[in-house]
Structure 1
C-alpha cells in the first residue's frame, strides 16, 4: 500500500508541475503567431503631389484646346513642385531642343574629369552637317580649331548644328547622350544619331557627306517623289526619333535648375549660356514682363507643304523675386502662321506670370 500511495503522490506532483509550467509559459508559445517588428511599425504616410493652381490649369487647358495643331504644353514650379500640362505625355519632335542634352552630357563629362572645356577641337570638311551651321564658313575657309566651351556656346545660343554635332562626338557620341538621359532618369526623352542621320531620315533620304555643302541637301530632297517624302515625314511625326514629352522636359529643367544634374559650376555655366540664346526672341521670350528672365532653347523642324514637324521653345522662367518655373511648348504638327504659334508661346508665359502675381509673388520691377 505504501508503494501505491507513493506512486500516486509522485504522479499528482508531476501533474501539478505540468500545470504550473503551462501557466508560466510565455505568450509566444501560443498558437497565435507573434507580430513582427515590421508589422508593429506605424502605417506609412503617403504624401500627395503638390496640386497646381486651378486657374493656371484652366488657362493652360484653354490654350492647348484653342490651338490649331498638335501641341504639348507643360509648366512646373521649380520651387513648389507642382506641374500642370496639356497633352503633356505625348512625344513631340524636339529638333534643336535636343542640343540641351548634348551640353548636359558634355558638362557631366567635365564634372567627372573626362574632358576639359578648354580642350582644343579641330574641324575639316568631313565634320560639316546641314541646315543652320554658321561655323561652316570658317571650316571651308581652310579648317578651324576652337574649344569645347566655344562649341557649347555656339550650339545653344545660335543653334549651330555642326558645332553641336562636333561637341557630341567629342564626348562619346549619341550613345553617351542616351546613357546620360538613362542614368539620370530623365524619362520620356529620346536622342537620335545626330543631325545628319535625323534630318535625312525625316526627308526620306540616306545621308551622304556631299549634302553638307551649299544647297545639295535641299536639291536631293526636292528630287524625291512627293509620296516618298510624305511617307517619311508622317512616320516621323507619329513616332519622332528624337521625341520628348513636355512633362519630361520640364521635370528635367527643374532638376537642372535645382542642381541635381550637374555640379554647381556646370549648372551655372549652362543656365548662363541658355540665358544668352539668340534664337526664338518672339517665342516664349515674347511673353516676358520687365524684371522676368528666361534661359531657353528653341527647336525648329522641317516643313512639307504647309505642315511643320516641330516648332518648340523650352526654358526656365525666373521672376523678379527669384521664383522659377520650367516651361515647355512643343508644337508637334501645325500649319498655322508663325505669329499664331508665337502668340501661343507668349500666352503660356503670360499665364505663368499672372498666376505668380495672383499668388503674391513680388514684382520687384514695379
Structure 2
C-alpha cells in the first residue's frame, strides 16, 4: 500500500512538473518562430521570471549593440553616485550648443540648447536621457560620472557581467562614420548579452543596485519613456512596462541594432523581465516593430 502511495505521489510530482514546464516550452517555441522571421538578422530574446530566476531564451549568448538601451544602466550609474553623496539631483551641468548630439525621441535637451547655452540639473538630464531618449543628455551624464568605464565598473561591481559601456552616442556615431557598421559590430563596443541585460533589470527591480528612492526614480523614468511601440505595443490593457529602447537606424537596408529591454507587470502583480535585441536585420523598422509587439503579446499571454 505504501509503495502504491509513493508511486502515485511520484507520478503526481512528474505530472505537476510537466504542466509547469509546458507554458515555458510553448513560449520557447513561439519565441523561436518570431526569431526565425528576422533571419538573416539575429533576434535575441530572453524572458525571465524575476521571482524564480527561471528563463527561456533564443540567441541569448552573444553580445548585441545596445544603442540607446544603454541609457538605463548609465542612469543607474549616475544615481549610484547620488546615493553615495558624490552627486545631487540638483547639481548643475553647463552645456553649450557645441555639446549637442543629434537624436532624441522628442524635442528635449539638444533642441533646447539650439537657442543657446544653459545649465541643466542632473535630474533634468536623467529625464531627458531615459524618458525622452535624448543623446545630448546621456553624453553629458557620462561626462559627469567620468566616462563609460566608470559605468561599466559600477555594473561589474554589482555582478552584471557581459554589459559594457565604452563611449557616448556622439563618439559612437563618429565611429560608425569612420569605421563602418561591420567594424563597430565586430568591436563589441557599447554591447550587452541578453543574459547581462536581464541581470541588470532583475537587480534593479530587486533594489540591489540602488537605494529605494533611486530605484523608484529610475523605474518611473523607464515607465514614462515616450516610445509607445515595440514590446509595449503588444501588451493588453492593464499591463505596465518599464523599459528602454534603442535604435541604430537603417544603412543600406540593414539595421545594426533595434532593441527593447524592460520589466512587464501584469494587473495581478506578476512580473517578467523581457530582453529583445535585434542585430543586422534586413527589415524595415515597421516590420521589426511587429516582431517586438508579438513578443510582448506572447509574454503577456504566458503570465
TM range (shorter): 0.7 to 0.9
Structure 2: stretches of 5+ with no match in the other structure: 1-19
1:235 corresponds, among 183, 193, 199, to: 183
1:80 matched residue in structure 2:
52
2:231 matched residue in structure 1:
284
1:265 matched residue in structure 2:
213
Offset at residue 237 of structure 1 (A): 2.5
Q: How far apart are the structure 2 equivalents of 1:83 and 1:136?
A: 39
Q: How far apart are the structure 1 equivalents of 2:285 and 2:243?
A: 19
Q: How far apart are the structure 1 equivalents of 2:157 and 2:199?
A: 15
Q: Is 2:129 aligned against 1:155?
A: yes
Q: Is 2:61 aligned against 1:113?
A: no
Taking structure 1 as the reference length, what is the TM-score of the superposition?
Answer: 0.73
1:140 matched residue in structure 2:
114
Q: How far apart are the structure 2 equivalents of 1:140 and 1:53?
A: 50
Q: How far apart are the structure 2 equivalents of 1:325 and 1:144?
A: 40
Q: How far apart are the structure 2 equivalents of 1:332 and 1:93?
A: 7
Do 1:91 and 1:239's aligned partners in 2 also have CA atoms closer than 8 Å?
A: no
Offset at residue 288 of structure 1 (A): 0.8
Taking structure 2 as the reference length, what is the TM-score of the superposition?
Answer: 0.88
Question: Which 4+ stretches in 1 moved above 6 angstroms?
Answer: none
1:255 corresponds, among 197, 203, 225, to: 203
Offset at residue 267 of structure 1 (A): 0.5
Q: How far apart are the structure 2 equivalents of 1:303 and 1:66?
A: 18
How many residues of Structure 1 are paired with residues of Structure 2 in the alignment?
A: 280
Q: How far apart are the structure 2 equivalents of 1:135 and 1:106?
A: 17
Q: Is 2:27 aligned against 1:59?
A: no
Superposition pairs of residues 91-102 of structure 1, within 5 angstroms: 91-102=63-74
Do 2:235 and 2:297's aligned partners in 1 also have CA atoms closer than 8 Å?
A: yes
Offset at residue 191 of structure 1 (A): 0.8
Offset at residue 86 of structure 1 (A): 0.4
Q: Is 2:99 aligned against 1:127?
A: yes
Offset at residue 259 of structure 1 (A): 0.8
Highest CA radius of gyration, 1 or 2?
Answer: 1
Over residues 197-235 of structure 1, what are the superposed CA-to-partner deviations in whole Å (9 max), with x where a residue is unaligned? 21111221xxxxxxxxxxxxxxxxxxxxxxxx6xx2112
Structure 1: stretches of 5+ with no match in the other structure: 1-49, 205-228, 357-366
Q: How far apart are the structure 1 equivalents of 2:103 and 2:132?
A: 12
Over residues 103-139 of structure 1, what are the superposed CA-to-partner deviations in whole Å (9 max), with x where a residue is unaligned? 0001100111111111122211332223337423322
Do 1:254 and 1:325's aligned partners in 2 also have CA atoms closer than 8 Å?
A: no
Q: How far apart are the structure 1 equivalents of 2:171 and 2:284?
A: 28
2:9 matched residue in structure 1:
none
Q: How far apart are the structure 2 equivalents of 1:141 and 1:345?
A: 37
Offset at residue 312 of structure 1 (A): 0.7
**Inter-CA distance 114–335: structure 2 relative to 1 (3 Å threshold):** same
Do 2:149 and 2:166's aligned partners in 1 also have CA atoms closer than 8 Å?
A: no
Compute the RMSD of aligned alpha carbons. Answer: 1.7
Over residues 278-309 of structure 1, what are the superposed CA-to-partner deviations in whole Å (9 max), with x where a residue is unaligned? 02x12111001011010110101143210111
Q: How far apart are the structure 1 equivalents of 2:116 and 2:177?
A: 30
